[in-house]
Amino acid sequence: MGWRAHCSKPTFPIERVDHAFVPIADPQKAQAFADGLSAQSLHVHFDQWVQRFCPVVHRFRSGYHGSFMQVEYAGDGVFCHPAQLKPLYEAIVRTAVHVIKAEQVATFLGRKLTGAYPGELGHHFSTRIQGTGIRHSRGPARIKLYDKAGLITRVECTTHDVSFFKHHRYVEQRNGERVFKLAPLRKSLYSLNDLRPLMQVAHERSYAFMAGLDSPDAEHQAITKMAAPAHIKGRSFRGFNLFLDPDYQLFLALARGEWAISGVRAADLREHIKGLSPGRCCYILKRLLLLCYLHSNPLILLRFPTLGASKKSK
């Protein structure tokens, strides 16, 4: 919203890609430049444009009045490579279609959902050549998520009626009394300073909810790591395949809760896995150590007898 309205150019190098900026030398300066948009500066530019394109305005005694017809507030998350964004974005947007309900949409927009609400709430999922997008709407306000240029995830809050958003302000009653209370935003141009933080909070709520969604990419990487062989000092140790019954029985034994405190020993594995010889058991434990599965799980520990533990103190 701030980029299009600024008439001055930024003093730092940027590159525009389809209504977005991907290579930005200084993101903090870029954000400060976008936040510099104010209603006062817009009013000054509007006065200049009106004098240029509508010179007859001087005949109107009351001048002109600026109001909002539609407002969009967008926030971008920029990735370095498309390979990083594609699997994560596809998982999030397709999961959000099923997970985000009417209650979450109302929460994003700062409202509560009640049974007496007469308006319409909806979801719209679309796949186009440009990419995949999802849109959640409640009345005149919408929250959209889509990708751009394979590098950007954009959350966009849109409304064609700014009075949908409410804030605390002074309201003049019919009896002339001024009361400070929660009231809808005015459609005046000077409501921009109050509208920006309200839309920004809607962005933050949406991002926070989607950040809590599980991505299947982590599970895929864990399975790939489990199945990949390890090469140590010229020797190869094969990975684990849970479709094979011996490996499946091994992980069923390791998943027992009794190892969470005392750790698992070779004798414990032989007790719960039939036909496991001592030599084979030691080889399995070495594979587990080398492939770093037990080290990454704090609930499963290995116990090895040491020389100091076997000696008796004199």
State mean pLDDT over 219-248.
Answer: 82
Of 276, 301, 278, 279, residue with least CA distance to 288: 301
Q: Comparing 95 with 310, which gets the higher pLDDT? A: 95
Cβ burial 14-44 (10 Å sphere, 16+ → b, else e): beeeeebbbebeeeeebeebbeebebeebee
CA nearest neighbour of 249 among 220, 275, 286, 225: 275
Burial of 165 (0-12, 13-18, 19+ CB in 10 A): buried
**Does the pLDDT of residue 84 top 60, yes or no?**
yes
Q: Is the pLDDT of residue 116 over 80?
A: no
Higher pLDDT, 5 or 277: 277
For residues 203, 209, 210, 216, the Cα torsion angle rounded to the nearest 10 degrees is: 170
Q: What is the pLDDT of residue 29?
A: 79
Q: What would the mean pLDDT of 157-178 be, rounded to a whole number?
A: 89
Tell me which of 212 and 164 has the higher pLDDT.
164
What the block records as the tokens of 218 is 């982590």
How many of the other CB atoms lie within 10 Å of CB of 155? 21
Residue ranges of alpha helices (H) inside the chain are 2-5, 27-35, 39-53, 82-99, 102-108, 192-211, 216-227, 245-254, 259-262, 266-272, 278-290, 293-296, 307-310
Q: What is the mean pLDDT of residues 274-299?
A: 72
Looking up tokens 């990735």 gives 79
Interval 254-286: pLDDT, tens: 888 887 777 778 888 888 888 888 888 888 888
CA quadruple 157, 159, 164, 166: dihedral, nearest 10: 50
Buried b (16+ CB within 10 A) or exposed e, 187-206: eeeebbebbbebbeebbebb
State residue 67's pLDDT score: 80
Question: In the 8-state DSSP scheme, what is residue 140?
Answer: T
pLDDT at 177 over 80: yes
Q: Which residue has the higher pLDDT, 269 or 14?
A: 269
**What is the pLDDT, as a whole number, of residue 278?**
86
| Predicted confidence (pLDDT) per residue in 183-212, tens digit | 999 888 888 888 888 988 888 888 888 878
Q: Where are the domains of the chain?
A: 1-66, 67-214, 217-306
DSSP result, 13-75: -EEESSSSEEEES-HHHHHHHHHT--HHHHHHHHHHHHHHH-GGGGG-TT----B-S-EEEEE
pLDDT band of 43, cuts 50, 70, 90: confident
User: Is pLDDT at 7 greater than 50 in this prediction?
Assistant: no
Of the pLDDT bands very low, low, confident and very high (cuts 50, 70, 90), residue 15 is low
Residue 214: pLDDT above 80? no
Type of residue at 245:
D
pLDDT in tens, 145-158: 888 877 788 888 99
**What pLDDT sits at residue 190?**
84
**pLDDT for residue 165 is more than 50:** yes
Reading the block at residue 84, the tokens are 């990083």
pLDDT band for position 311 (50/70/90)? very low
Task: Report the predicted TM-score, pTM, of the whole model to 2 decimal places.
Answer: 0.62
- Name the token pair of 137: 């709407």
User: Which is nearest to 295 in space by CA: 210, 230, 215, 204?
Assistant: 230
pLDDT band at 180 (very low <50, low <70, confident <90, very high): very high
Per-residue pLDDT averaged across 35-58, rounded?
A: 83
